[in-house]
Structures are given as structure tokens and as C-alpha cells.
Chains A and B, each alone.
Chain A
Amino acid sequence: MKRSFEDFVPTIQADHKGLNSYYRITLDNLDAALAFLKEEGTRLSTITGKDARDHLEVLYHFAFWGELHTVIVELPYEKPEVPTITNHFFNALLYERELIGLLGIDVLGIPDPRPLELPPKYTDPTPPLRRV
């Protein structure tokens, strides 16, 4: 990217290795981060959800030619909610549906909230990718 992410978005921690960059931000700054990445012309590659044992994490992977920029937000176990990013990157829809089904994260404002992979009769209260 032409501009540095840290200069425009308040970042808690930034790591750079080769073509990969990781930025840990708070949920409040997610909208500013997405607006910046959209302006820079990045493309959303995918979204990873992770159970980090004491909290949940959502990692948004953005591609800019050979570079990959990953924005990480932490979510509390008790109330895992994240706003939809389909208003900035429409192709996030399938990846957000995956977050709902496989990790039980509520995506607020998502246009289509059906879980992506799980069958409609799946009744196990623990989502498959949660550790407990």
C-alpha cells in the first residue's frame, strides 16, 4: 500500500514479516480501518475466526497485489458480536456466514444470516470450531 496503516488507524500492535502485515486494533476502529483499506484499493481475501481460549478473534485478510494485510479484532467470549463489513466489501458475506455457523459469532446487520456450511437441523449448542 502507498500509505502506512498505522498512520491513519489507531493500532494497538503491528507486526511486519516479508509481504505480510498484521494490525491488532479495537472494534471501535474497525470502520476507520475498513474505509482506509478500501481507499487504498485492497481486496478482501477472506475472514478467519479463531477461538483463542479466553476470547475470540476475527482476522480480516486483505490482499494488495503480493502484500497481505491482516486486521485483527478481539471479541469477548460472553458477547461475541462484530458488525458486518459487507457495506465496505460485499464479498465478505460468505465468510461472515461461516463465522456465524462455525464459531457462533453474531454478525450485526448481515444481509443473509444463514450459517454457510452447517445443515439446518444441526442442534449441537457448541459451534464446531469452539474449543469448549
Chain B
Amino acid sequence: MADVNERRFAKLKVPIGPSHPALEEPARFLFEVEGEKVVDVDYELGFNHRSIERLCQERPFSKIVYLVERICGICSHAHPLNHVERVEDIADIEVPERATYIRTIYAELERIHSHMLWAGIAGEEIGYHTLFMYTWREREKVLDLFESLSGNRVMHGCNRIGGVKWNITEEQAKSAVGTLSYLDTVADKITKAVLKDSNIAERCKGVGGLSKEDAIRLGAVGPNARASGVPEDTRVMCKYAAYGDFDLEPLTAQGGDVVAQAVVRLSEIKQSIWLTKELFANLPDGPIQAEYDNEVIPPGRSVGRVEAPRGELLHYVETNGTNFFERIKIRSPTLANIQSYVPKFLGCQVADIPIIAASIDPCFSCTDRMTVIKAGKRKIVSSRDLKLGRV
């Protein structure tokens, strides 16, 4: 007869995802558990692969800014911003200073609403629904602000090669600064609600930790790396757009656990509100669009990074002198952060899986970027279908 203890500690495989109530994202994790303890983990991506990189090579360059904006609903400014900066670098287009400031304002507002979204989801994963409702209600103010500036809450259509599409009037700036002052008090309340709460501290302290050595070895980026003490912030290091005009410090914490992730993101909300106010106060006058030959982009290549809300976002753009791109490569921050899941999950309790999964703020649409579901049947799209535009 089998020993009772032996049966109790037998290893089991627990699949979570794609699109599981504990992980509402198209990624599949296979956990090997011993009792309640996770002893091994494997991951599978590609459930939402949309082949954007291939599509970018199949369309004229004037349509690509529109396409890269649709890679991710939350980083809908970071992707086109990096793309237009790469094209401007190849074509040596001098962007007017006012346009760089407007781009930076959008980038920082995007960071504020993304980090507020994270705080809400993290609250929901640990059963703190009040925090979820509160942060998401206040996040609407940022989306309303986007609507007042660009006419759209999510897809702003702000970036163009050589400048921006939407100018900012004095009335808009005045009203935006008022909203930002209100959001500053909201950020203080959320920070207090999260970091002073003894229940959250007990629930999250030490959960999903990541050492600084592991963060560097596994190539973690963004707030996930900064929460482990890696002081890397692309805004500070690369000084793209208007970031060179302001003194920013990378905000770090130690340990990489859920509390450290919260400390970094909540302080970044405050930092971004301060920076956005400074940008509005120092907004230079002048044109918002540079003149350039919009027929052809000269042959060349450019690789560069911007700090999306989830971390370092890399675009590589190569042109060949025609109006089609030779190659576009996009590496989203979540892909770089996936490997850091392994040390975070190993040794954790099954009940901690949702909050650890949410803690790095994963966003899988931009990570996968081909499956078409028609009449309930899954159809696999081939490269021939793509070439013929059957997607």
C-alpha cells in the first residue's frame, strides 16, 4: 500500500493559461508542484503572434507608423515614438524642439496610466478589489486627458516622421496641469494605501524575489530590473526626445519582490507627474513638424531604445532606398522580462502564482506580435498567406 505522505508530496503538473482566470494573458505556464510548492516551471508563448515584423516589410513606410502604434494598446505611444526616431536618425531629420516636448509629455502620461493600471491589477490579484476600483477610476482622468489632447483615449496618433500631429494650446496645457496636480494627490493616496498597509506587506513581502545578479544574468529590464537594484533607465541613459533637458534619477529598490516592484512603480508615477508638469511649464514655442522629402528614405540603419512603461523597448530599422523597409525588428520589454519569471516562481506557493505573474506587469500582445479563429476553428496562417495578404 502506498504511503500517505508519499502520495501527498507526489509531483503534479499544473497548466495555467493561455487566458486563465489567474493570468488573463495569452501565455501558457506549466508548473510542476510538490504539494503547494512550485519546483519547476516552463512557459510557452506565441498564442497571439500577429507577425507585425513581416507586415512592416510588406507595406510602404508611410503606413508603418500606424501599424506599430497597434502593437500594444498600453504602449501605443512608445512603439511609434521609437519607430519615428529611428527613421529620423536614418534620414537625418531635425525634429523641432516643441515636437520633442510634446512626444515626451505623451510618453510620461502613458507611464502614469500604465503604472496605475498595474497597481489596480496587483490589488485585484491579492483580493484587494477596493484598490483596483480606486486606481482604475482615477486612471480614467489620464485617459480623459489624452482625449482632450489628441481626441483619442488609447490610440493617440501623435507621432509622425519629423514631428507630431497634435499641437497643445495654452488652455489645454492649463487644464492638463490642473489634472496632474489632482493626480499627484491620488498618487500619494495610492502609495499610502499600498505601502503602509500591514496586510499587503505580510502578503507580498519576499514574494517573487529576484536578486540583482539574476536580474542582470537574465536580462531583466525596466521597473522589473530596477526593483532588483539595477539602476538602468533608458530615459536617463539615452536622453532621447526631450529627456536630455531634465535631471532624472533611476528609481530603484532592493529584492525584486512584489513590494519592491510596487515601490519602484509608485515612485515613478510621482516622478512622471513632476516631469510632465515641468514639460508643460517649459514647452518651447515653434513649429511641430519638420520639412523633409517624404517620398523616399535614404538607405541606412538605426537601432535605438526608449523607456516604455514596462522597460527598455528596442527597435531596429533598416532601409534600402525604396519606400519599403528592408527589416524592422521589435523587442518588447516583456520578452526580455520573461526569463526572470523562473527564479521568481521557483519555491513559491501555488496561491502566489497570480500576483507574481502580474508583478512584472506582463503584456503579451507586444511580446508575440498568428492565429485566426474562424467559426470556432483555429487556422494556422502560413508565410504564403501573409505574402498574399490573407490575414
B110 to chain A, nearest CB (A): 21
B307 to chain A, nearest CB (A): 12
Q: Please tell me if A8 contacts chain B, counting CB pairs below 8 Å.
A: no
Known contacts A66-B239, A128-B51: A94-B383 contact under CB 8 Å: no
Q: Please tell me if B384 contacts chain A, counting CB pairs below 8 Å.
A: yes
Q: Please determine whether B312 and A45 come into contact, CB atoms closer than 8 angstroms.
A: yes
Known contacts A43-B219, A50-B318, A91-B339: A18-B89 contact under CB 8 Å: yes
The CA of A70 and the CA of B316, in the complex, are separated in Å by 10
Q: Please determine whether B338 and A94 come into contact, CB atoms closer than 8 angstroms.
A: yes
- Chain B residues touching A, majority SS: mixed
The CA of A65 and the CA of B46, in the complex, are separated in Å by 30
Chain A, residues 29-73, CB within 8 Å of chain B (1/0): the string is 000000000000001111010100000000101010110101000
The CA of A68 and the CA of B45, in the complex, are separated in Å by 27
Chain B, residues 298-336, CB within 8 Å of chain A (1/0): the string is 000111110000001010101000000011010100011
- Which of A48, A66, A94 contacts B335 (CB under 8 A)? A94
Chain A, residues 103-132, CB within 8 Å of chain B (1/0): the string is 000000000000011110111101111100
Residues of A within 8 A of B339 (CB): 90-91, 93-94
B216 to chain A, nearest CB (A): 7
Q: Please determine whether A129 and B46 come into contact, CB atoms closer than 8 angstroms.
A: no
Residues of B within 8 A of A87 (CB): none
Q: Please tell me if A26 contacts chain B, counting CB pairs below 8 Å.
A: no
Q: Please determine whether B331 and A46 come into contact, CB atoms closer than 8 angstroms.
A: yes
A34 to chain B, nearest CB (A): 14
B28 to chain A, nearest CB (A): 12
The CA of A127 and the CA of B302, in the complex, are separated in Å by 25
Q: Please determine whether A90 and B314 come into contact, CB atoms closer than 8 angstroms.
A: no
Q: Please determine whether B329 and A48 come into contact, CB atoms closer than 8 angstroms.
A: yes
Residues of B within 8 A of A19 (CB): 238
Chain B contributes a number of interface residues (CB within 8 A of A) equal to 39
Residues of A within 8 A of B326 (CB): 50
Q: Please tell me if B368 contacts chain A, counting CB pairs below 8 Å.
A: yes
Further 19 A-B residue pairs, CB within 8 A, beyond A48-B327, A91-B217:
A17-B302, A44-B219, A46-B331, A48-B316, A63-B305, A65-B232, A66-B238, A68-B303, A116-B45, A117-B45, A117-B46, A117-B49, A118-B46, A118-B49, A121-B380, A122-B380, A123-B380, A124-B384, A128-B386
* 30 A–B pairs (Cβ distance < 8 Å), ordered by A: A18-B89, A19-B238, A20-B302, A43-B216, A45-B305, A48-B327, A50-B318, A50-B326, A63-B312, A65-B232, A65-B237, A66-B237, A68-B303, A68-B304, A90-B217, A90-B219, A91-B217, A94-B335, A116-B46, A117-B45, A117-B368, A118-B46, A119-B371, A119-B380, A122-B382, A124-B383, A126-B384, A127-B383, A128-B386, A130-B383
B contacts, CB < 8 Å to A: 45-46, 49, 51, 53-54, 89, 216-219, 232, 237-239, 301-305, 312, 314, 316, 318, 326-327, 329, 331, 335-336, 338-339, 368, 371, 380, 382-384, 386
A contacts, CB < 8 Å to B: 17-20, 22, 43-46, 48, 50, 59, 61, 63, 65-66, 68, 70, 89-91, 93-95, 102, 116-119, 121-124, 126-130
